[in-house]
Amino acid sequence: MSELPHFKLLSADQINTIRQNASAAEENGSLTPEQLALIYQQKWFRILVPAAYGGLELPLLQAIELEEELARADGSLGWTVTLCAGAGWFGGFTDPEFSKQIFTNPHVCLAGSGAPTGFADMVPGGYRVTGKWLHATGVPHATVFTANCIITESGTPVINADGSQKVLSFTFHKEEVSIIPGWPYIGMKATGSYPYQVDNVVVPHNRTFKIDANEALINNTLYRYPFMQLAEATLAVNISGMALHFVELAQQIFAQKQNREGVLIADLHVVKNEFYIKLHQLNEARHALFHAVQESWEHCVANPCIHDVVLKNVSTTAHLLAHAARQAVDDIYPYCGLSAANTGADINRVWRDVHTAAQHSLLVFGRDK
């Protein structure tokens, strides 16, 4: 059997804490106190938060390498950290005084949705917001919520110069938000992903922001990097991390399970060949994305804007990685027998997580855009 890449950023104790709590987290529908304590201790929700507000402000390649290992340790935890840390990236665009207030909380966690399914009517000093958003990750432990809203004036949408509707991003305190529990999907059950809504909440101007490199209030490379490619890269490595976990568990099954003739599954040529090919393809796709991200980062450091060809390479390699990860899992799955179909088995949870997380539209559409 081919060797899996080693964990480099997580210690054995950290991996054990994450994995030993994974089943309980799935049953509870949210990360456990032990998992959250580790996240707060390591400041993983602050991976992309500006250093000026106590964040780690990691370069993008370092961030996605860490996020992949977290997803490999456990899919729901990795996804939760990635989505909430991604919302923490908005700290590069939010009002400095407001940012200082929210990021002083040692347990700060931002959750939100990019769908513009809210309406914000202009009122003196700010906006009156009403809306409902279907999916936000990390809701049970979120301290701040973000959401996109269509801007209206006396109920009529405000139109931009190009003819599009004006949309702004908003931040809400937890007490301004109503949570609607419910996650009817087969996997990612521990992510605490629920719909939420706000009803007639007045939000001052200093709690709005616009995600645009030209609107960044912290002029560092991380906040000049385009959001679309940042999102694609961070989501793709979550799928590859989960796929690596699946392969790891499959390898354990192959080392113990025999076929009808008493031959270990691990010794069957067809299995060894399939395993080698899929792991090789997965690793090739991983390295391609890592290279594309680093190249685009260096381009962003040296130039005021990144060339479209460089950005397209990040998008393309992210989508190819997500595809390679799904393909590896689906092609190795049948050799695992009923062990992988047992809903109480770790490998089945990982399989369900892969096939739920990989449904994200950013990982399905747009590879050739």
Cβ atoms within 10 Å of 154's Cβ, excluding its own: 7
pLDDT one-digit tens code per residue, 138-179: 999 999 999 999 999 999 999 999 999 999 999 999 999 999
Backbone φ and ψ of 312, nearest 5°: -60, -35
Can you give the pLDDT at residue 206?
96
Can you give the pLDDT at residue 356?
97
Can you give the pLDDT at residue 2?
60
CA dihedral of residues 46, 52, 54, 59 (deg, nearest 10): 40
CATH architecture of the domain covering 12-92 = Orthogonal Bundle (1.10)
Domain 108-215 CATH superfamily: Butyryl-CoA Dehydrogenase, subunit A, domain 2 (2.40.110.10)
With a CB cutoff of 8 Å and minimum separation 6, the contacts of 138 are 80, 83, 84, 109, 111, 191, 192, 193
Q: Is pLDDT of 299 > 50?
A: yes
User: CA-to-CA distance for 48 and 86, rounded, in angstroms?
Assistant: 7
Can you give the pLDDT at residue 59?
98
Q: Of 327, 350, 91, which is closest to residue 220 (Cα–Cα)?
A: 91
Can you give the pLDDT at residue 305?
80
Encoded amino acid at 275, one letter: F
Alpha helices in 2-136 (DSSP H): 12-20, 22-28, 33-42, 60-73, 75-88, 96-103
Average pLDDT over residues 73-85: 98
Q: Which helix (H) or strand (E) holds 157?
A: strand 156-157
Whole-Å CA distances, 82 to 64, 71, 110:
9, 9, 11
User: CA-to-CA distance for 73 and 214, rounded, in angstroms?
Assistant: 37
Confidence of residue 369 (pLDDT cuts 50, 70, 90): very low
Average pLDDT over residues 72-76: 98
Q: Which fold has domain 225-364?
A: Butyryl-CoA Dehydrogenase, subunit A; domain 3 (1.20.140)
pLDDT one-digit tens code per residue, 87-100: 999 999 999 999 99
Provide the residue count of the chain.
369
Average pLDDT over residues 209-238: 95
For the chain, the distance separating the N- and C-terminal CA atoms, rounded to the nearest angstrom, is: 37
Domain regions of the chain by residue span: 12-92, 108-215, 225-364
Can you give the pLDDT at residue 259?
87
